[in-house]
Chain A
Amino acid sequence: MTIEARSLSFRYGDKPVLREVSFALTSGRFHALLGPNGAGKSTLFGLLTRLLALQQGDILLAGQSLKKQPAEAMRQIGVVFQQNALDLDLTVRQNLQYHAALHGLSRKEARLRGDQELERFNLLDRANDAVRQLNGGHRRRVEIARALLHKPSLLLLDEPTVGLDVASRKALNAYVRTLCEEDGLTVLWATHLIEEVRNDDRVLILHQGQLLADGDGHEICEAEGTQDLAETFHSLTGAG
């Protein structure tokens, strides 16, 4: 599914957070939205998920405006938020069933799809455990499984590795990449950690609300005359 952002601008009161941000995501690819803290990544996610209302510009999903066809757009999007959005007191399966219900799936269908996703994530044996009993990495996996439950075309992940150890971060990042390859899922992965991005990824660098670079990692490096993405990121944003 194609996703296109056109001239997005957003401000909180007098403070501009996004300025004329435009980009198009390629179907079935892993995209890294790279930006230091405060760059406007969460605001951009808020707009893509309709949690914030568009002030200026538009977002098109498969050619349909998010303003005009919000329900259809929401069916196509799966989201993993930066902060935990699971109910810690409920079991893994109950959390999945709640999400499925919100998307209009029956209990039977929810259970079937939920078990399929949990099996993919090697978490089926934890289905009846309270989320509170899971470690951070497993909770993140449950959140991704939940985001995929209604079979979206676009997966948005807002700094999904926050709070995870290095091994869990790598595993999660690698797993999401396999979803692109195997399921043809379009992924937008927001991060401020350069090590989560590869040179052959499509990279969007956001800084102070402006999109400073948009292209394949190695192309951006060539254009900037830098050795690698870390250097490019540093030269463009001043961040390390």
Chain B
Amino acid sequence: MKASHYWHCFVGIQTREWLRFWQQRTRFASALVRPLLWLVVFAAGFRAVLGISIIPPYETYITYETYIAPGLCGMIILFNSMQGALSMVYDRELGSMRVLLMSPLPRPFLLVTKLLAMGVVSIGQVYVFLLLALLVDVEPPLWGYLAILPALILTSLMLGALGLLIATWIKQLENFAGVMNFVIFPMFFMSSALYPLWRMNEASPWLYWICQFNPFTHAVEAIRFSLYLEWNPTAYGITAGVTVVLAVFATAGFRPQRTRILGSKAA
């Protein structure tokens, strides 16, 4: 296969992802309503009870809205990745996944391209969210919007790979609904998205350690530090490492002997 074949395939998968997204525009709205509710309503309520001391990367006291904005960026990607994975399960039920796998191009390439396609859609939503966050005075430095791009790509790849891995192994939609509860909510709440980890340490040391081991915590910190033009090698390193591991496992899951794409009526 020539390089042009790979390019046309890459463009085709990206285009389809956007077309599907456009067809399901309510997804875009709901994906934004959720973090905006957290930012406007939840943060207003919590601002009074949860004081934020000066912690890196912030150089001064900040509002609670400012604190949770990076976590909510992560939240958008988290929910989107899981919804993307859900759509892959849906595809598998319908047989569209078979169409993808019938491509003569290598399956790892198809997988990574699919991950990137899902990620680009998520990142677009994050930028729209950050623009709307200006209305509640979340005003990071201008260059911060550019600096978070690598962190957003990495986070979306990591969570996309996780979603794909789960989708590969989940046979039916009903089971996936359970995974939503067991993956999304624990990852989000047991992270630094809503509260600084030193607060968690005061409340419960064992929960603090769980938060520390949660890769989503490090993805959120990579976004947070980048948004304020600070470099956090630990957060980037852990996020990148977990992304590679998850992508390898997700790729392995795409091998036909592991893929249950023929569904229940196999004979």
- Residues of A at the B interface (CB closer than 8 Å) are 12, 17, 37-43, 46, 49-53, 70-75, 77, 79, 81-87, 89-90, 94, 97-107
Asked if B267 and A102 make an inter-chain contact with CB atoms under 8 angstroms apart, the answer reads no
Q: How far is the CB of A67 from chain B (nearest CB, A)?
A: 12
Q: How far is the CA of A83 from the CA of B97 in the complex (A)?
A: 12
Given A43-B262, A104-B1, A106-B4, does the pair A89, B20 have CB atoms closer than 8 Å?
A: yes
Given A97-B12, A102-B102, A103-B104, does the pair A38, B24 have CB atoms closer than 8 Å?
A: no
A17: chain B residues at CB < 8 Å are 266-267
**6 residue pairs, one from A and one from B, having the closest CB atoms:** A101-B12, A104-B5, A85-B95, A74-B104, A102-B103, A53-B257
Q: How far is the CA of A233 from the CA of B3 in the complex (A)?
A: 49
Residue of B whose beta carbon sits closest to that of A146: B99
Asked if A90 and B261 make an inter-chain contact with CB atoms under 8 angstroms apart, the answer reads no
1/0 per residue, CB under 8 A from A, across B229-267: the answer is: 000000000000000000000000001110101110111
Q: How far is the CB of A111 from chain B (nearest CB, A)?
A: 12
A104: chain B residues at CB < 8 Å are 1-2, 4-6, 8-9, 104-105
Asked if B99 and A71 make an inter-chain contact with CB atoms under 8 angstroms apart, the answer reads no
Q: How far is the CB of A121 from chain B (nearest CB, A)?
A: 18
Residue of B whose beta carbon sits closest to that of A40: B267
Q: How far is the CB of B251 from chain A (nearest CB, A)?
A: 15
Asked if B20 and A100 make an inter-chain contact with CB atoms under 8 angstroms apart, the answer reads no
Confirm or deny: B53 has a beta carbon within 8 angstroms of a beta carbon on chain A.
Answer: no
Q: How far is the CA of A51 from the CA of B255 in the complex (A)?
A: 9
Interface size on B, residues (CB 8 A): 39
Asked if A42 and B266 make an inter-chain contact with CB atoms under 8 angstroms apart, the answer reads yes
A46: chain B residues at CB < 8 Å are 262, 266
Most chain A CB within 10 A, of B96, B101, B263, B265, is at B96
Asked if A102 and B105 make an inter-chain contact with CB atoms under 8 angstroms apart, the answer reads yes
A86: chain B residues at CB < 8 Å are 96
Asked if B105 and A85 make an inter-chain contact with CB atoms under 8 angstroms apart, the answer reads no
Asked if B9 and A102 make an inter-chain contact with CB atoms under 8 angstroms apart, the answer reads yes
A71: chain B residues at CB < 8 Å are 1, 104-106
Asked if B15 and A101 make an inter-chain contact with CB atoms under 8 angstroms apart, the answer reads yes
Asked if A85 and B267 make an inter-chain contact with CB atoms under 8 angstroms apart, the answer reads no
Residue of A whose beta carbon sits closest to that of B97: A85
Q: How far is the CA of A87 from the CA of B24 in the complex (A)?
A: 13
Asked if B12 and A98 make an inter-chain contact with CB atoms under 8 angstroms apart, the answer reads yes
22 sample A-B contacts, Cβ–Cβ < 8 Å, listed by A number: A40-B267, A42-B262, A42-B267, A43-B267, A50-B256, A51-B259, A70-B104, A71-B105, A72-B104, A87-B20, A89-B23, A90-B16, A98-B13, A100-B12, A101-B9, A102-B12, A102-B103, A103-B9, A104-B9, A104-B104, A105-B8, A106-B4
Asked if A51 and B8 make an inter-chain contact with CB atoms under 8 angstroms apart, the answer reads no
- Contact partner, A85, options B4, B5, B6, B98, Cβ 8 Å: B98
Q: How far is the CA of A104 from the CA of B8 in the complex (A)?
A: 5
Confirm or deny: B100 has a beta carbon within 8 angstroms of a beta carbon on chain A.
Answer: yes
A70: chain B residues at CB < 8 Å are 104
